Amino acid sequence: MAKIGVFICHCGENVGAKVDCTKLAAAMGEHPGVAVSVEYKYFCSDPGQESVKRAIRENNLTGVVVAACSPRMHEATFRKACAEAGLNPYLCEIANIREQCSWVHTDNDKATEKAMDITRSMVEKVKRNNKLQPIEVPVTRRALVIGGGIAGIQAALDIANAGQEVVLVEREQSLGGHMAQLSETFPTLDCSQCIMTPRMVEAAQHPKIRLLTYAEIESVDGYIGNFSVRVRMKSRYVDVNKCTGCGDCITKCPAKKISSEFDCGLGKRTAIYTPFAQSVPNIPVIDKENCIYFKNGKCKICAKTCQCDAINFDMPDTFVDLEIGAIVVATGFQVQNNTMYGEYGYGKYPDVINGLQFERLASASGPTAGKIQRPSDGAEPQTVVFIQCAGSRDPSKGVRYCSKICCMYTAKHAMLYAHKVHSGKTHIFYMDIRAAGKGYDEFSRRAIEEDEAAYVRGRVSKVWQENGKLMVRGVDTLLGRPVEIAADMVVLATAIIAQPDAKEFAKTIGIGYDEYGFYNEAHLKLRPVESSTAGVFLAGACQSPKDIPDSVAQASATASKVLALFSKDMLEREPVVATNNEATCAGCWGCVLACPYNAIEQKDIVDRSGRVIKRVASVNPGLCQGCGTCVTFCRSNSLDLAGFTEKQIFAEVMGL
Amino acid sequence: MSETFEPKIIAFVCTYCTYAGADLAGTSRLKYAPNVRIIRLPCTGRISPMFILKALQKGADGVLISGCHPGDCHFTHGNYHARRRWMVFRALLDFIGIPPERVKYSWISAAEGVKFAEFINSVTEDIRTLGPFEQYSQLIEQTQAPASL
């Protein structure tokens, strides 16, 4: 005979103000099989959990239903409490009467009626719950970090410094990411390369870090603690083991006028190249698209120049297979293409540039060696207009969010410009100055007070060319009048967007993403560095726009999560897996076709003399992820899914 | 004036996308019609046509099924199986005399709280227009079939 305990949580006012908990408790108390039905203000609190435990012990309960918030919130809490009271934790279920009832309905009576249905349905389910034991799986103590920007490097170093193995995969030919492109960083104005390159070298030389550059993730299979990852090593056409990085091939390459991606189109590079002088590893690649040999079949000057015989034009892509226990995704961001603002003339006027291009102009390693020269004629601009929120906070361009870093980097640009061009004038069009962060507001005040950046609150409507100047027309909303400025250069504080292939990549590794392509965390406040997939963690701007300190902090947080995972020999997994009734299984293998994880194997049933009498399906609980697709596929109803059995679900429906 | 008909709707949703989307509608305090009762499953691939028939037999006026968008399934392709199954099942529903309009199919992601609320409202309105679903219960009365497990 079932003895179910029903615990109805008011959640303060959250449930209590909408659902009549007393009525609910009384109704549940009369439901067959319910031994205890009580209400309380906060069951998740310590005394609340104690009262649940006491009720289990005193009444020898055979099942528990907590009618409260979403199971995604506190299922683990209450299952743990049940286990502490000696009840199998899988005999506890949550009836979601907050997120899916009290918070979304206005009518108290209807909300109460719905809460009753939801709770009753769960009581019916719990009656048919089985005692389950968590599945133990071994942990491979090797982390994969995807992305070699500052977040990826930080995560890799933190994990490696704790003594665990790391594979760091970067799809470009060098570590560094966007941070390597920056000139100086706010709010301290220290040189980005000076703080970045030592970390890059440290990561590359670390005995616990295996660095795979010019490499992309081909596939990810498996689950927490036991991922199988295949990495495609894109062909560099340069043998990594032979190349010494002398750079002779780069000097001799005749294809010299290729627009440099690293310099955002402001500089030129050769067809065999390293993106920047401090590249790690310092091994060039041949850009097949622009290489004269690949285009015309003649040249090979690099191969003739190379004294190490490192150039191989026939080099194929190769694959590396890895066994991985945890994955840190640190794939970063892109800047939005500003040509979508036709009125600002980006792409039409060479002197309208974006923030990242300004970084390259101001960088000592950039195409102008740090001199501020406008792209069209190399002249020193005397008036520069900065336009903030060029793309961000603009629903019409599909970017409703704030890109977070632009206010600060525009203030920094104004400062860098003022320090380099003493006679220069700066105008900054802004919507709001968002300078929340340690030393940030002081920094933006410094741009205004010491470096005389003229902030104009308002938007720019048009930029056009007239008499060799860029005319900027906007509005000063504080003075309530239109403004027109004749500028020599215009810098757009471009929106940060997700990597163009972010969604595709999310599907490869099996994590969620939001409408913009940024990766979803498991909980915005309480689990901000975990993805919804166990064992996959998120660091840096792939999750949302972030500045360097935030990215580094998040990366270190992922490292601590990975290390916690690696601190155990065995992992406990939810026992929600499919099971097969071998007596009724007909061996039709429909389930094998349905299973996304190849978790269903064929098993021979033998008689005493070892003769095979029947061949049936057998589920490998280590591989099974518990989706239940096979169960629905099964023609003979032999398969069932623990935790979501046919009986349980039919009972839930009947309870409604 | 007669009282407005309040349909009873049972939703079968996957825990990774639509259930999370429903939670998001809650945390965003969106308001929607209180007619839907949600049954959580690991994946839409787990949803058997028998559940839908059972729900209608139990007295639901409408059933809805929702999971991750194609390509976004947490279990890589459970939702594709669900979709294929639904394409076949819809024809069967029609054949056995259940209007297919009473069973709705949708994709709602964990980020689409607003879509969830709007979907519930529109389904509730549609089912309300269709009126109570009595054929099934009448059939059961005629055959005296036990309506329990």
Is A515 in Cβ contact with B111 (below 8 Å)? yes
Kindly state whether residue A584 falls inside one of the protein's structural domains: yes
Mean pLDDT score across all residues of chain B: 87
Mean per-residue pLDDT of chain A: 94
Q: Which residues of A touch B27 (CB under 8 A)?
A: 99, 103
In angstroms, the CA A69 to CA A567 distance is: 31
Residue A499 has pLDDT above 50, yes or no: yes
Kindly state whether residues A182 and A322 are assigned to the same domain.
yes
Taking phi over 0 as left and psi of -120 to 50 as alpha, with beta for the rest, A82 belongs to alpha
| CA–CA–CA angle A267, A272, A277 (5° rounding) | 55
First-to-last CA distance in chain A? 21
Residue with tokens 């979508």: A340
Find the closest chain B residue to A102 by CA distance.
B26
Tell me, yes or no, whether A514 and A482 share the same domain. Answer: no
Q: What is the pLDDT of residue A135?
A: 86
Same domain membership, residue A159 and residue A91: no
Interval A582-599 mean pLDDT: 90
Any idea which residue has 């004294």 for tokens?
A: A307
Category of A398 on φ-ψ map: left (φ > 0), alpha (ψ -120 to 50) or beta? left
Question: Which amino acid would we find at residue B28?
Answer: S
Q: What is the distance in angstroms between the Cα of B144 and the nearest Cα belonging to chain A?
A: 18
* Contact flag A514-B54 (C-beta cutoff 8 Å): no
What pLDDT is stored for residue B140 in this prediction? Answer: 65
Q: In Å, how far is A606's CA from the nearest CA of chain B? A: 31
**Stretch A445-454: mean pLDDT:** 95
Enter the tokens of residue A151. Answer: 């977040």
Closest CA to A537 of A331, A329, A302, A305: A329
Mutation for testing the B interface, residue in A122, A625, A627 having most B CBs under 10 Å? A627
pLDDT of residue A137: 85
Q: Which of A231, A232, A229 is nearest to A324 (CA)?
A: A229
Q: Mean of the pLDDT values across residues A350-379?
A: 94
Asked if residues A253 and A268 have their Cβ atoms less than 8 Å apart, the reply is no
Q: How far is B73 from chain A (nearest CA, A)?
A: 8
Q: Is residue A372 part of a domain?
A: yes
Beta bridge partners of A92: A64
- Final residue belonging to a domain, choices A566, A600, A617: A566
Total Cβ atoms within 10 A of residue A88 = 16
> Per the domain annotation, does A312 fall within a domain?
no
Sign of CA dihedral B51, B52, B54, B59: positive
At B1, the pLDDT band (50, 70, 90 cuts) reads very low
Q: Is A403 domain-assigned?
A: yes
Question: Contact at 8 Å (CB) between B63 and A125?
Answer: no
Q: Which residue of A has its CA nearest to B78?
A: A629
Does residue B148 form part of some domain?
no
A133 found inside a domain: no
Residue A402 and residue A263 share a domain: no
pLDDT tens for A219-253 read 998 888 999 999 999 999 999 999 999 999 999 99
Q: Which residues of B touch A109 (CB under 8 A)?
A: none
Per-residue confidence band for B144, with pLDDT thresholds at 50, 70 and 90 = low
A509 & A533 share domain: yes
**Which sign does the torsion angle of CA A366, A372, A375, A379 carry?**
negative
Q: Does B2 reside within a domain?
A: no
Q: What CA–CA distance (Å, rounded) separates A112 from A362?
A: 64
Whether the CB-CB separation of A251 and A277 falls below 8 Å is answered with: no
Q: Do residues A411 and A186 touch, judged by C-beta distance below 8 A?
A: yes
* Contacts B60 to A, Cβ<8 Å: 656
**Model confidence pLDDT, tens digit, residues B46-82:** 999 999 999 998 889 999 999 998 877 888 788 999 9
Phi and psi for A601 in degrees, rounded to 5?
-115, 165
Q: Could you tell me the CATH number of the domain that includes residue B34?
A: 3.40.50
Higher pLDDT, A474 or A533: A474
Mean pLDDT value across residues A84-105? 95
Q: Which band of pLDDT confidence, cut at 50, 70 and 90, is reported for residue B139?
A: low
| Percentage of residues of chain B with pLDDT beyond 90 | 60
Domain CATH code at residue A375: 3.50.50.60
pLDDT of residue B41: 95
Containing domain of residue A515, as a range?
A: 142-234+317-332+499-566
Q: Are residues A388 and A466 in the same domain?
A: yes
Count of the separate structural domains present in chain A: 5
Could you tell me the CATH number of the domain that includes residue A52? 3.40.50
Which B positions 22-41 lie with beta carbon below 8 A of chain A? 22-23, 25-27, 29-32, 34, 37-41
Task: Please indicate, yes or no, if residue A241 is contained in any of the structural domains.
Answer: no
Using DSSP's 3-state secondary structure scheme, residue A279 falls into: coil
Q: What is the DSSP string of A285-338?
A: EE-TTT-HHHHHS---HHHHH-SS--B-TTPPPEEEEEEESEEEE---EEEPPG
With a cut of 80, say whether residue A261 has pLDDT above it: yes
Does A455 lie in the same domain as A354? yes
User: What percent of chain A stands above pLDDT 70?
Assistant: 100
Q: Is the pTM of this model over 0.95?
A: no
- Closest to B110 (Cβ–Cβ): which among A105, A118, A512? A512
Distance between CA atoms of B79 and B105, rounded to whole angstroms? Answer: 11
- Look up the ipTM and state it: 0.92
The pLDDT of residue B143 is 59
Alpha helices, DSSP H, located in A400-517: 406-420, 440-449, 502-509
Residues A344 and A325 in one domain: no
- Whether B97 maps to a domain, the answer reads yes
Q: Does B10 touch chain A (CB under 8 A)?
A: yes
CA dist A604 and A295 (Å) reads: 58
Q: What is the pLDDT of residue B2?
A: 56
Domain hosting B44: range is: 9-143
Closest residue by Cα to residue A98 from A115, A76, A86, A82: A115
Residues linked to residue A93 through DSSP beta bridges, in sequence order: A65
Whether residues A645 and A524 fall in one domain: no
Q: Considering CB atoms only, which of B16, B31, B51 is closest to A106?
A: B31
Residues 70-89 of chain B whose Cβ lies under 8 A from any Cβ of chain A:
71-72, 74-78, 81, 85
B149 found inside a domain: no
- Cα–Cα dist A60/A649, whole Å: 25
**Same domain, yes or no, for A342 and A326?**
no
A8: helix, strand or coil: strand
Q: Name chain B contacts of A510, Cβ cutoff 8 Å.
A: 74, 76
pLDDT tens per residue, range A161-195 = 999 999 999 999 999 999 999 999 999 999 999 99
What does DSSP say about strands A318-324 and A226-233: parallel, antiparallel, or unpaired?
antiparallel
Interface contact flag, B37 A104, Cβ < 8 Å: no
pLDDT above 90 covers a percentage of chain A that reads 88
**Residue in chain B nearest A221 by alpha carbon:** B76
Residue A136 covered by a domain: no
Q: Are residues A32 and A109 in the same domain?
A: yes
Report residue B149's pLDDT band, with 50, 70 and 90 as the boundaries.
Answer: very low
Residue of A70, A118, A643 lying closest to B37 (CB–CB): A118
Tens digits of per-residue pLDDT, A44-71?
A: 999 999 999 999 999 999 999 999 999 9
Tell which residue, A625, A636, A623, has the closest CA to residue A590.
Answer: A636
Measured between alpha carbons, how far is A595 from A619 in angstroms, rounded to an integer?
10
Q: Which of B19, B39, B117 sits opposite A649 (nearest CB)?
A: B39
CB contact under 8 A, A96 and B38: yes
In a domain, A137, yes or no: no
Query: Same domain for A471 and A539?
Result: no
What does the pLDDT average to over A397-424?
A: 95
**CA-to-CA separations, A511 to A219, A443, A461, A499, A535, in angstroms, rounded:** 13, 37, 40, 15, 11
Tens of pLDDT, residues A501-518: 999 999 888 888 888 999
Query: A283: closest CA among A257, A255, A308, A256?
Result: A308
Mutate to test the interface with A, among B8, B77, B80, B81 (most CBs of A within 10 A): B81
Question: Using CB atoms, which residue from B20, B39, B50 is nearest to A72?
Answer: B20
The tally of domains found in chain B comes to: 1
**Phi and psi dihedrals of A224, rounded to 5?**
-45, 130
The answer to whether the Cβ–Cβ distance between A99 and B23 falls below 8 Å is yes
CA angle B52, B54, B60 (to 5 degrees): 75
Of B8, B37, B43, the CB nearest to A627: B43
Å from A605 to nearest chain B CA?
27
Q: Average of pLDDT values for B27-38?
A: 94
